[in-house]
């Protein structure tokens, strides 16, 4: 019998040869933004609960919410909300059987990224 020479290879794509694709990055971003929205919601609920407790406690929480940290959290939450919304619309489009080819999926991915940034800037300017 002939001996088979086995080549040791990794079971999954190694980081040296694997190139992240836009579709995988946008999918990961959808999950991150969905979970990241919790931070903004917690901050907003904390602010509302503080308003219900007392005026002294509300003043402390309001100082945190209106600080640079609160502005950063709410701005990132606005971006996460817009991105998550647009990615949801994209997935509804995919579920209908449309846009499943790679060029269209990548265009829709870039649309989610640029659209969410644009809508966030508009939201910050309007609000």
Provide the pLDDT for residue 114. Answer: 98
pLDDT tens figures, 27-82: 999 999 999 999 999 999 999 999 999 999 999 999 999 999 999 999 999 999 99
Q: At residue 22, does pLDDT exceed 80?
A: yes
Helices (H) and strands (E) in the chain, counts: 4, 0
Provide the pLDDT for residue 5. Answer: 77
What's the CATH number of domain 22-126, 1.10.600.10, 3.40.50.1820, 3.40.50.1110, 1.20.1300.10? 1.20.1300.10
Whole-model pTM?
A: 0.83
Residue ranges of domains in the chain: 22-126
Token pair 């003043």 in the structure block, residue: 59
Q: Which of 70, 66, 69, 47 is nearest to 58 (CA)?
A: 47
Rounded to the nearest 5°, which phi and psi values hold at 67? -80, 180
Q: At residue 107, does pLDDT exceed 70?
A: yes
Confidence of residue 88 (pLDDT cuts 50, 70, 90): very high
CB atoms inside a 10 Å sphere around CB 29: 19
Provide the pLDDT for residue 15. Answer: 67
Q: Which of 24, 27, 22 is nearest to 87 (CA)?
A: 27
């Amino acid at each position: 019998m002939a001996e088979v020479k086995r080549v040791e290879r990794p079971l999954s794509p190694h980081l040296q040869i694997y190139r992240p694709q836009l579709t995988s990055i946008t999918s990961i971003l959808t999950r991150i933004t969905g979970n990241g929205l919790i931070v903004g919601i917690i901050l907003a609920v904390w602010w509302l609960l503080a308003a219900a407790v007392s005026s002294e406690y509300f003043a402390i929480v309001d100082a945190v919410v209106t600080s640079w940290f609160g502005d950063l959290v709410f701005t990132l939450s606005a971006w996460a909300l817009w991105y998550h919304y647009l990615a949801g619309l994209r997935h509804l489009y995919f579920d209908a059987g449309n846009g499943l080819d790679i060029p269209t999926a990548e265009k829709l991915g870039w649309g989610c990224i640029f659209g969410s940034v644009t809508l966030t800037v508009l939201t910050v300017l309007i609000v």
